Amino acid sequence: MKSRDALSAATTAPSNATFPILYHRTGGIAATDDRVVIWPDGVIQVVGRQLVPVNRQLAAERFARLYSLLSGFENLKDKYLTAGVADAYTITITYGGKTIEATDLSPDLPDQFRQVFAEIETIAAEAGSAAPLPVDNSAPTP
Protein backbone atom coordinates (compact mmCIF):
# COMPACT_ATOMS: atom_id res chain seq x y z
CA MET A 1 0.00 0.00 0.00
CA LYS A 2 1.26 3.47 -0.88
CA SER A 3 2.00 5.92 1.88
CA ARG A 4 -0.25 8.98 2.18
CA ASP A 5 2.60 11.27 0.98
CA ALA A 6 3.32 9.09 -2.04
CA LEU A 7 -0.38 8.95 -2.94
CA SER A 8 -0.69 12.73 -2.57
CA ALA A 9 2.35 13.33 -4.79
CA ALA A 10 1.00 10.93 -7.41
CA THR A 11 -2.36 12.74 -7.60
CA THR A 12 -1.12 16.33 -7.42
CA ALA A 13 -1.48 18.31 -10.65
CA PRO A 14 1.80 19.24 -12.31
CA SER A 15 3.10 22.75 -11.81
CA ASN A 16 2.38 25.31 -14.55
CA ALA A 17 6.13 25.42 -15.18
CA THR A 18 5.87 21.92 -16.69
CA PHE A 19 3.59 23.11 -19.50
CA PRO A 20 4.61 25.10 -22.58
CA ILE A 21 3.26 28.59 -23.21
CA LEU A 22 1.29 28.56 -26.47
CA TYR A 23 0.60 31.78 -28.38
CA HIS A 24 -1.47 32.06 -31.56
CA ARG A 25 -2.26 35.30 -33.40
CA THR A 26 -4.62 35.44 -36.39
CA GLY A 27 -6.30 38.17 -38.40
CA GLY A 28 -5.29 41.77 -38.82
CA ILE A 29 -5.01 43.62 -42.10
CA ALA A 30 -2.41 41.08 -43.31
CA ALA A 31 -4.52 38.06 -42.30
CA THR A 32 -1.63 36.69 -40.29
CA ASP A 33 -1.33 33.29 -38.67
CA ASP A 34 1.58 33.33 -36.20
CA ARG A 35 2.41 30.77 -33.54
CA VAL A 36 4.92 30.82 -30.70
CA VAL A 37 5.70 27.96 -28.34
CA ILE A 38 7.87 28.59 -25.30
CA TRP A 39 8.87 25.31 -23.69
CA PRO A 40 9.51 24.90 -19.95
CA ASP A 41 13.25 24.53 -20.66
CA GLY A 42 13.30 27.98 -22.31
CA VAL A 43 13.38 26.89 -25.96
CA ILE A 44 11.27 29.15 -28.17
CA GLN A 45 9.80 28.03 -31.48
CA VAL A 46 8.23 30.56 -33.84
CA VAL A 47 6.37 30.06 -37.13
CA GLY A 48 4.11 32.40 -39.01
CA ARG A 49 3.47 34.96 -41.69
CA GLN A 50 4.72 38.06 -39.85
CA LEU A 51 7.18 36.51 -37.41
CA VAL A 52 10.49 35.08 -38.55
CA PRO A 53 10.62 31.28 -38.06
CA VAL A 54 13.11 30.47 -35.33
CA ASN A 55 14.03 27.75 -32.86
CA ARG A 56 16.43 28.90 -30.15
CA GLN A 57 17.08 29.14 -26.43
CA LEU A 58 15.52 32.05 -24.58
CA ALA A 59 17.72 34.03 -22.18
CA ALA A 60 17.04 33.00 -18.57
CA GLU A 61 16.17 36.54 -17.41
CA ARG A 62 13.66 36.98 -20.26
CA PHE A 63 12.13 33.60 -19.46
CA ALA A 64 11.81 34.57 -15.78
CA ARG A 65 10.19 37.91 -16.69
CA LEU A 66 7.57 36.17 -18.84
CA TYR A 67 6.76 33.69 -16.09
CA SER A 68 6.38 36.54 -13.59
CA LEU A 69 3.89 38.25 -15.93
CA LEU A 70 1.88 35.01 -16.04
CA SER A 71 1.36 34.99 -12.27
CA GLY A 72 -2.42 34.98 -11.73
CA PHE A 73 -3.15 34.16 -15.40
CA GLU A 74 -5.58 31.46 -14.26
CA ASN A 75 -7.80 34.15 -12.68
CA LEU A 76 -8.56 35.91 -15.97
CA LYS A 77 -11.73 35.23 -17.96
CA ASP A 78 -11.58 32.73 -20.84
CA LYS A 79 -12.69 35.20 -23.51
CA TYR A 80 -12.26 38.90 -24.24
CA LEU A 81 -13.70 39.11 -27.74
CA THR A 82 -15.13 42.13 -29.52
CA ALA A 83 -17.02 41.56 -32.77
CA GLY A 84 -16.91 43.88 -35.75
CA VAL A 85 -13.52 45.48 -35.10
CA ALA A 86 -11.85 45.91 -38.48
CA ASP A 87 -8.28 44.63 -38.73
CA ALA A 88 -8.14 43.38 -35.15
CA TYR A 89 -6.03 40.38 -34.20
CA THR A 90 -7.44 37.41 -32.34
CA ILE A 91 -4.85 36.27 -29.83
CA THR A 92 -5.03 32.96 -28.00
CA ILE A 93 -2.65 32.17 -25.15
CA THR A 94 -2.58 28.84 -23.33
CA TYR A 95 -0.62 28.41 -20.14
CA GLY A 96 -0.94 25.81 -17.41
CA GLY A 97 -4.15 24.34 -18.76
CA LYS A 98 -5.86 27.75 -19.09
CA THR A 99 -6.66 29.13 -22.56
CA ILE A 100 -7.66 32.74 -23.10
CA GLU A 101 -8.91 34.02 -26.45
CA ALA A 102 -9.03 37.77 -26.99
CA THR A 103 -9.34 40.49 -29.58
CA ASP A 104 -6.33 42.77 -29.24
CA LEU A 105 -8.57 45.86 -29.49
CA SER A 106 -11.13 44.65 -26.93
CA PRO A 107 -11.90 47.54 -24.55
CA ASP A 108 -12.16 45.20 -21.53
CA LEU A 109 -8.87 43.38 -22.19
CA PRO A 110 -6.96 43.28 -18.88
CA ASP A 111 -3.54 44.92 -18.69
CA GLN A 112 -2.03 41.61 -17.62
CA PHE A 113 -3.11 39.93 -20.86
CA ARG A 114 -1.79 42.90 -22.89
CA GLN A 115 1.55 42.69 -21.08
CA VAL A 116 1.82 38.93 -21.62
CA PHE A 117 1.04 39.05 -25.34
CA ALA A 118 3.31 42.08 -25.84
CA GLU A 119 6.15 40.26 -24.06
CA ILE A 120 5.67 37.11 -26.15
CA GLU A 121 5.59 39.13 -29.38
CA THR A 122 8.74 41.03 -28.35
CA ILE A 123 10.53 37.80 -27.43
CA ALA A 124 9.55 36.23 -30.78
CA ALA A 125 10.61 39.29 -32.79
CA GLU A 126 13.95 39.56 -30.97
CA ALA A 127 14.61 35.84 -31.39
CA GLY A 128 13.97 36.16 -35.13
CA SER A 129 16.26 39.15 -35.52
CA ALA A 130 19.13 37.90 -33.36
CA ALA A 131 22.32 36.93 -35.11
CA PRO A 132 22.66 33.18 -35.62
CA LEU A 133 25.04 31.35 -33.35
CA PRO A 134 28.46 30.76 -34.90
CA VAL A 135 29.09 27.31 -36.31
CA ASP A 136 32.47 25.65 -35.82
CA ASN A 137 33.56 24.69 -39.34
CA SER A 138 37.12 23.83 -38.41
CA ALA A 139 38.40 20.43 -39.40
CA PRO A 140 38.60 17.90 -36.58
CA THR A 141 42.08 17.29 -35.26
CA PRO A 142 43.35 13.75 -35.54
- Per residue in 30-57, pLDDT (tens digit) is 888 999 999 999 999 999 888 888 899 9
Residues 78 and 17: their CA atoms lie apart, in Å, by 20
Question: Which tens digits make up the pLDDT trace of 77-126?
Answer: 999 998 888 889 999 999 999 999 999 999 999 999 999 999 999 999 88
Residues 108 and 72: their CA atoms lie apart, in Å, by 17
Residues 31 and 34: their CA atoms lie apart, in Å, by 10
Residues 6+ apart with CB under 8 A from 23: 34, 35, 36, 37, 38, 91, 92, 93, 117, 120, 121, 124
